[in-house]
Amino acid sequence: MSMPRQDQATPSLSDHGLDSGDTLMAWAHDLFPICRSLTGAGVRQTLSYLTNKVPGMTVKEVPSGTKAFDWTVPQEWEIGGGWLEGPDGQRIVDFDDNNLHVMGYSEGVDCRLPLEELQQHLYSLADQPDAIPYVTSYYNHNWGFCLPHRVRESLKPGQYRAVIEARHFDGVLNYGELIVPGETEREVLLSTYICHPSMANNELSGPLVATALARWLHSKPRRLTYRLLFVPETIGAIVYLSQHLEDLRQNVIAGYVLSCVGDDGPVSFLPSPSGNTLADRAAEHVLAHHAPDHLRYSFLDRGSDERQYCSPLVDLPVASVMRSKYGTYPEYHTSLDDLSFISAQGLATSVDMYRRILSALEANQTPANVFPCEPQLGKRGLYPTVSTKDTHAQVALMKNVIAYADGRRDMIALSEAVGSDIATVAPICRKLADEGVLTLS
């Protein structure tokens, strides 16, 4: 699969009241160093930062041990530090240098052991010898250190000291929730996750873009209601669904998982299982016009919280528009996915893509003719007064919109029927509705 060329024009986000890519990069610098996990202080610190940016967003907590379908909310993880000391007393890796060095959700430990035994607790990547891999052990008791393969190869036989100052205890799982109410209760779900430690594209980019969209959604009245979730991946989505499933199934007309939206790679689309929900249709309509060379994945390639939102007994209409999809770029889930891997341009383009998709959903009412036969455009000043062979083309789009406004096609389908962009068709429909020729419902 060849990588499509990317549109390099920076979208003018300020015209639409959106934060700039540079602003998002500034937030990224603030948030990157925090050691996030499924639970704990890093998540709360992150949510607190974002709450300050987004009026109305609240931080929720769910106690450890709470049941959620087939799952149980895990204990909180507290990590104070961790290091590995060599036979010569030198520190080999230290959590303070990079929080990826300690395996996520690691047990506390303080012991001496020979290299041979230590090896079972070390994780590295032979084919990326300079990268620290991101490794977790959420649902099994374990401890470990992650380090560049090059460093691991240099370790000499002898006694090592392994110290991880960590503990697990009954606490809470936190997540952030924002409801932006609209004219109607029909709602759009945006979900992102805040459980990854110091990595940038997967995953700090999602919360950054979600925050920019949240601020924008607040900026003026909306037809639809928006629900934004900042949850720990998997368990956070499952816990939220277990407590809000009926609401979501009743109201959500489209949703997106925001992940891997910060780099300059190709725009990537991951559809829902059926591929024909409103979430798919809105995204694909916008991408067809504004990122025609995007990559289209299958739901088989999924990997984030659409796994929960689209599971058979949940079955929400959720898709995902990304840049370089998780699992497809070598820096993924390593220390190489750092702030240099994302860019102001990449973040801005993602914000703009989602702005277009949400705008399409906002506009997506169903136009229907008021009159049998064509309406008389001339008497409403909508038609040129002299008919020549040249004037036909001028009103063609307007007449096509009327011809296909059958009260069954929503505006996305209508736009596709007439071969145009909903951003072009929507104002025509509003004008025709103002003239009493169409209704919008």
Q: Which residues are at the interface with a copy of itself (CB under 8 A)?
A: 68-71, 123, 125, 133-140, 142, 144, 234, 237-238, 241-242, 245, 273, 299-300, 302-303, 307-308, 310-315, 327, 332-334, 368-369, 371-376, 378-379, 383, 385-389, 392, 399-400, 402-407, 418-419, 437
**Residues 318, 272 contacting (CB under 8 angstroms):** yes
CB of 311 to a copy of itself, least distance (A): 5
* Cβ 133 to a copy of itself shortest distance, Å: 6
Least distance CB 356 / a copy of itself (angstroms): 24
Burial class (CB in 10 A: 0-12, 13-18, 19+), 127: exposed
Distances (CA, A) of 135 to 106, 123, 143, 145, 214: 10, 8, 10, 9, 31
* Both tokens assigned to 117: 């035994």
Q: Which is nearer to a copy of itself, 58 or 298 (CB)?
A: 298
Closest CB 269 distance from a copy of itself, rounded Å: 18
Nearest residue (CB) to a copy of itself, 399 versus 431:
399
In the complex, what is the shortest distance from the CB of residue 108 to a copy of itself, in angstroms, rounded to a whole number? 18
CB-nearer residue toward a copy of itself: 111 or 403: 403
Residue 376 to residue 382: CA distance in whole angstroms: 9
Which CB, 237 or 422, lies closer to a copy of itself? 237
Whose CA is closest to 266, among 289, 306, 297?
Answer: 297
Answer yes or no: are the C-beta atoms of 79 and 102 closer than 8 Å. yes
**Residue 80 beta carbon to a copy of itself: minimum distance, rounded to whole angstroms:** 22
Angle among Cα 16, 19, 20 to the nearest 5 degrees reads 100
Q: Which is nearer to a copy of itself, 157 or 312 (CB)?
A: 312
C-alpha–C-alpha distance, residues 237 and 62, integer Å: 12
Cβ 361 to a copy of itself shortest distance, Å: 24
Instruction: Give the residue with the Cβ less far from a copy of itself, 237 or 319.
Output: 237
At residue 402, the 3 state secondary structure works out as helix
131 burial level (CB within 10 Å; 0-12, 13-18, 19+): buried
DSSP of 16-57, one letter per residue? GT---HHHHHHHHHHHTTS---SSSHHHHHHHHHHHHHSTT-
Tell me, what DSSP letter sits at residue 396? H
In angstroms, give the least distance from the CB of 281 to a copy of itself: 19
Cβ proximity of 197 and 342 under 8 Å: no
The smaller minimum CB distance to a copy of itself, of residues 112 and 408, is found at 408
* Cβ atoms of residues 193 and 230 within 8 Å: yes
Minimum Å gap between C-beta 74 and a copy of itself is: 11
Nearer to a copy of itself, 92 or 437 (CB): 437
Cα–Cα distance measured from residue 305 to residue 320, given in angstroms and rounded to the nearest whole number: 10
Nearer to a copy of itself, 9 or 373 (CB): 373
